[in-house]
Structure 1
Amino acid sequence: MTSILSFPIDKAKLAWLDFSAKNQDLHSLNPDDTKAFTSYVFGLIDEQNAQLGIGGWLEDRRIYNTREQFNLGKSRSIHLGVDIWMPAGTPLFCPEDCQIHSFANNEGFGNYGPTIILKSLREELYYLFGHLSLESLEGKLKGQTLKEGETFAEIGNYPINGDWPPHLHFQVMNNLFGKEGDFPGVCARNELKVFEKVCLCPYPFLGISAPRDV
């Protein structure tokens, strides 16, 4: 597989960002203030002299507590993908030979914003790229073939990206349950046993390992 960034992620200096209740900063930071949240995220990356920030798979996140998107009928807080925090406009590359399964602009505060789902041509795997720019959807066709290493999208900016600090939500699934252009990126605690069988650990697909305390 090829890196989804313009450089090998396993060779980069990573800043692992904690958005769980263990992070005391979140008790005073309002993540719904996207400008302030963006300054906080990229401040942490700069402090560590890192090339990008990484947000953990299956992390139980505090930052969803105040967003209606994650509290309609049930409280969803378990993150099913991995976040790559980099500036808006950062180009993204196809990890292997794929076809475009589907795409959509999932609008709304806290949502994915522009989203593309790729399907592997070698096995039943789907790659979700969320929080993209609107330009990333231009000219896209369902079933369109993309070559490994081909650039096809870019990280979007707020508010278009669902009103989040610029980052990519990258998620790998073995089943989409018939969904198109969208798939849950966060689940409730009592849904985890089901979703962790479908939403695979993304780290191997990025060539990295999670630190022991994440």
Structure 2
Amino acid sequence: MSQIIDVLQKYPGFPGVIVNRKPYKKLDFSASNTDLASRNLTATRDFSDYVHKELLGDGTYIGIGGYLENRVIYRNREHFGKQKAARSIHLGVDIWAKAGEPVYTPLKGIVHSYAFNDQYGDYGPTIILRHHLNGVSFYTLYGHLSLDSVDGLYTGKLFGAGEKIAEIGNFPENGDWPPHLHFQVITDIGNYEGDFPGVCSVQDQDYYRSICPDPNLILRIE
């Protein structure tokens, strides 16, 4: 982990994942946001209106946040479990923007894998890129995309730094979430293809933190 952190910190700069020039606003989906207690988070349209119209001023801001956040928004989605080890620790950064917003790769990479994870609460269309930077290999995952984003894609396809690779998807095809991009950095992907845990249990967070560094090392959003 220390090696990838060192490499990313020394890299002179990234083109960005979302290049929309609107100001960023940090969003909180943990229990600290008491407003969530009165919201029906299973009704995606209502959830989306809350995020995009109320919190983000109907496009005035782009939402950002979520790395290692212990979220309550997963409680009513069976995909994340209901047992003692239910998953609630978010391992990536979410960028909340309207459906259709272009997504760019921050640096040169090839398609490692992709999939349509078509389950309520899942990623929906997902792309994973493999990167090699200053002798270090790692991966970036892009989730909740549009279906068109994986149309015609193939393993090994090369993308240059700053090249458009996808668009943010709309519900229900994006896993039935308010439109946003899940962006995650992974150092050890194991045997996963087109998928990788983006949320873990409290019990497993130390392990996943060790292989999923803070995406803001790349995003560099204040």
Q: What is the TM-score normalised by the length of structure 1? A: 0.92
In structure 2, which of residues 124, 127, 132 is the aligned counterpart of residue 121 of structure 1? Answer: 132
In structure 2, which of residues 24, 28, 39 is the aligned counterpart of residue 14 of structure 1? Answer: 24
1:6: how far off? 2.5
* Aligned residue number for residue 92 of structure 1: 103
* Aligned residue number for residue 45 of structure 1: 56
* Aligned residue number for residue 180 of structure 1: 193
Gaps of 5+ in 1: 210-214
Q: 69-78 or 189-198, which moves further after superposition?
A: 69-78
Distance 2:79 2:210 in 1: 23
User: What's the RMSD between the two structures over aligned residues?
Assistant: 1.4
Q: What is the TM-score normalised by the length of structure 2? A: 0.89
Q: Percent identity?
A: 46
Gaps of 5+ in 2: 1-13
Within-5 A mapping of 1:47-196: 50-71=60-81, 74-122=85-133, 123-196=136-209
Whether contact under 8 Å (1:124, 1:175) holds in the other structure is no
1:194: how far off? 0.3
Give the secondary structure class of the aligned counterpart of 2:183: strand
Distance 2:160 2:29 in 1: 34
* Aligned residue number for residue 45 of structure 2: 35
Distance 1:55 1:206 in 2: 11
Give the secondary structure class of the aligned counterpart of 1:205: helix
Q: Which amino acid aligns with 1:153?
A: A
Distance 1:86 1:145 in 2: 26
1:203: how far off? 1.0
Give the secondary structure class of the aligned counterpart of 1:141: coil
Once the two structures are superposed, residues 5-32 of structure 1 have per-residue CA deviations (whole angstroms, 9 ceiling, x without a partner) of 2246xxx521111111111111110111
Distance 1:51 1:95 in 2: 21
Give the secondary structure class of the aligned counterpart of 2:35: helix
1:164: how far off? 0.2
Q: Would the alpha carbon gap of residues 25 and 70 (structure 1) be closer, same or farther in structure 2, given more than 3 Å must change? A: same
